Copies of this chain bind each other. A is one copy, B any other.
Amino acid sequence: MSVTFPRGFRASGVTAGMKPSGDPDLGLLVSDEPCGAAGLFTTNVFSAAPVRLSRSRLARSDSAQAVIVNSGQANAGTGVRGDHDVEHVTQAAATELGLDESLVLACSTGVIGEPLHVDELLRVLPALVAGLSPDGGDAFARAIMTTDTKPKQATAERTPYRVGGAAKGVGMIAPDLHLATMLVFITTDAPIPGAEIGTLAREVVEPVFESLTVDGCTSTNDSVLLLASGAAGGDLVLPATDAWRDVSQAIEEVARSLVLQLADDAEGANHVMLVEVTGAPTEHDAQIVAKAIANSPLVKTAMFGGDPNPGRILQAIGSSGANFLPQSVASFIGDVLVIEGGQIPDEYREAGVEAARAALGEREIVVAVSLGQGAGSSRALGVDLSYDYVRINAEYTT
């Protein structure tokens, strides 16, 4: 069900032939009425044409009614032609749906630098629209996949409100040059005022996806969209009310489920690494440290090798650039103390190594770091660095 679990949404997915595999590659998500909408987009300077279009439309208005998503071409690095192509596509979709073009958003994922296969897309547009259904969430979630091995979907409910989500791909590159774009779509039927959707996106959704790092690379196409149809009816959901808290919790639940599914399906990954940093002078310092550990190729290969290697964690913290007193730093792998007072303690070397090694045998590995110096905290979600990561990213045949 995913994105169509909340009332007021229909979706569909078809095969347009835009990617060679012949798998579904074009998805459409539509709300029955114009709905509140907000987006989070890549910070990459070379943002793709669909990112520029969606960002610009959501900057002018906090409502939208349709999102068209293609996989196969990223429509990034394609210059002015890319802008024309995505405008053309949203215009055609708007006409087919009988909507104002400004209410149609777009996302793309696939090869950078290759022009969008507009003709193939337009050919199946009538079928895509005809296929729209309140049961179409699954077809939509499948159509947006690239190297994903399975669709990512989640739902949550806080009566009377429903939240649904679908996501694709992260930190992995297909054998055919696809870049690792993350696309996330979260829908709810709660009646949230347009102006407040952005607040939810920034305060609830953004921190969850910000925590995810697979290889430290930000795609040109990363997009997260939050849509609120209001179809659940009832009073407007306003900040600082019980209803707001309910909806926030449900949205966070869906976001957390999707981000875990993304990390778990990251190609070449055998372990999901959750880094939790506390006691930092500021949240920013905590974030820098968490990301430094989760991104460190030395830590990542140690996780892959099942080698508890506190020196590499120490090294990553120390070169992160964050502010802290080295002598206050402590760290645990699982529940094993591996750094204390900025040193690797004798107890660990004498008695802790095997327990730490056992903790690395788990699919999910928790690395906790306390900087011992303030209330700033952050978390990062990462994966190990394996032979498969190298193989997937190195083996490419045109």
Contacts and interface: CB of A to CB of B under 8 A. Distances in A.
Contact of A45 (B79, B112, B173, B317): B317
Contacts of A305: 393-396
A390 B391 CA distance: 11
A92 to B, nearest CB: 24
Contact of A318 (B220, B304, B389): B220
Contact of A215 (B46, B297, B343): B297
A315 B179 contact: yes
Interface in A143-199: 173, 177, 179-180
B398 A353 contact: yes
Contact of A113 (B77, B314, B319, B341): B314
Given A177-B309, A314-B46, A301 B390 contact: yes
Contacts of A302: 393-394, 396
Interface size class on chain A is: 35 or more
Interface in A76-121: 76-79, 111-114
A386 interface: yes
A43 B315 CA distance: 11
A277 interface: no
A177 B311 contact: yes
A307 interface: yes
A136 interface: no
So how many copies of this chain end up in the complex? 2
Given A217-B315, A217-B319, A317-B46, A298 B343 contact: no
Q: Is the interface of A mostly helix, strand, loop or mixed?
A: loop
A17 interface: no
A381 interface: no
A349 interface: yes
Contact of A349 (B114, B218, B219, B394): B114
A30 to B, nearest CB: 31
Nearest to A303: B394
A77 B324 contact: no
Nearest to A310: B113
Given A180-B298, A297-B385, 17 more contacts: A44-B315, A74-B311, A76-B311, A77-B311, A77-B344, A79-B342, A111-B311, A112-B314, A113-B343, A173-B298, A179-B315, A297-B389, A298-B393, A302-B393, A304-B394, A386-B394, A389-B390
Interface of A: 42-47, 74, 76-79, 111-114, 173, 177, 179-180, 215-220, 296-298, 301-302, 304-305, 307, 309-312, 314-319, 324, 326-327, 339, 341-344, 349, 353, 385-387, 389-391, 393-396, 398
3 A-B pairs with least C-beta separation: A112-B311, A305-B394, A113-B344
